[in-house]
Amino acid sequence: MTIQESQQQVDQWIKTHGVRYFNELTNMAILTEEVGELARIIARRYGEQSEKESDKNNDLGDEMADVLWVLICLANQTGVDLTEAFKKNLEKKSNRDSTRHKENRKLN
């Protein structure tokens, strides 16, 4: 599935199953909440915090998909074409950072 198809599918789901998009500020708050849930799993599973028994069944991929879902909602409702935005962002990073990471002694 392409990014564009994902944006279309989320929009169709909202139109079919949802009443409407939550407003942008609500979705921003939801995005922050979802990123927090993802961070909790990462910190406990891969970081130094111990993982609670109740967290062990949390699906990392599902939490990432929740973040992606809300990000796509925000893109749809603000008119952002994520495919084009990502292409431009990748080009920017490629130009700006073409040698930066290779020259970073901390990474070698």
Instruction: Summarize pLDDT for 24-73 with one digit per residue, the tens.
Output: 999 999 999 999 999 999 999 999 988 888 888 899 999 999 999 999 99
Cα angle at 61 between 52 and 89, to 5 degrees? 125
CATH number for the 3-80 domain, one of 3.40.50.2300, 3.30.9.10, 3.10.450.50, 1.10.287.1080?
1.10.287.1080
**CB of 27 within 8 A of CB of 77?**
yes
pLDDT digits (tens, 9 = 90+) for 61-108: 999 999 999 999 999 999 999 999 999 999 999 999 888 888 888 988
Does pTM surpass 0.85?
Answer: yes
SS3 for 47?
coil
**CB of 71 within 8 A of CB of 31?**
yes
**CB of 44 within 8 A of CB of 51?**
yes
- Domains of the chain by residue range: 3-80
| CA 45/CA 61 separation, integer angstroms | 13
